[in-house]
Amino acid sequence: MAADKEKNSIPNLDPGVHVSEINNGAHRPGISMAEVADYYSKWAEQYDSDIKMRYLGPSYAYKALAEEFPLSTTDRKNISILDVACGTGLLGEKLYEEGFTNLDGLDPSEKMLDVARAKNIYNTLYCEFMSDAKLPIDNDRYSCVMVSGGMGEGHIPCAAAAEMIRIVKPGGFVIIAMREAYLSNVKDYDGKLDNHFLKLQDEGRWKMCSRTVVPKYSFDNNGVIYKFQVCSK
């Protein structure tokens, strides 16, 4: 019975494929950003039930944010946040529950956004890719940009970090939660992502507050949580 509950819900994949394999399919070598969006669109209706108990990324990302905006001293509803690669809104739900209600979301899959929209936790939802292309968002718009689960093969490229910095206020934060293994097995990140982050720090664009490896981030795989503070521009 447990195995049945994990069977694939994506059309055009063999029945019986387990959820971890479905997730890996969204990160298969050579997948394009457009193919990623299409893949998640096919998964959208079943995504929450497939992933929620196997994915701790939202909890880790929230913890990193809460360190900067503790409930005891912060009016959290005034902290403006963009949830990048928000998908169906798993991170948004966690943030909203903890008082961060000034939320926008961004994702390239309209069907994933349809699920997120029904939760009534986001003010604005953007159907956009996070890349090096300029988004329809003003400079210095947010207190924080958060990415939980949006990094991977064919997902957010290294070059997107500059766009994240552009839309965050000076003194605000960028928080990125991702699977640690992607640092070595994703072509765009292998030997590049950490170096790119450090280059932006050397340029005075942001400073790294923390880089934390965490257990059981996703399907019992370790994760890494980055937190950067954006510098004056």
pLDDT (tens digit, 9 = 90+) per residue, 211-230?
999 999 999 999 999 999 99
pLDDT at 9: 47
Residues contacting residue 48 through CB under 8 Å, at least 6 positions apart: 88, 90, 115
Residues contacting residue 178 through CB under 8 Å, at least 6 positions apart: 57, 147, 149, 150, 151, 152, 223, 224, 226
**Mean per-residue pLDDT of the chain:** 92
Q: How confident is the model at residue 17 (pLDDT cuts 50, 70, 90)?
A: low
Let me know: does 35 contact 66? Beta carbons within 8 Å.
no
* Residue 143, amino acid: S
pLDDT at 102: 98
Residues contacting residue 140 through CB under 8 Å, at least 6 positions apart: 167, 168, 169, 170, 233
pTM score, two decimals?
0.92
The distance of Cα 114 from the centroid of its chain, to the nearest Å, equals 17
- Of the two residues 124 and 54, the one the predictor is more confident about is 124
Distance CA 213, CA 185 (A): 17
Weakest mean pLDDT among 57-61, 130-134, 170-174, 216-220? 216-220
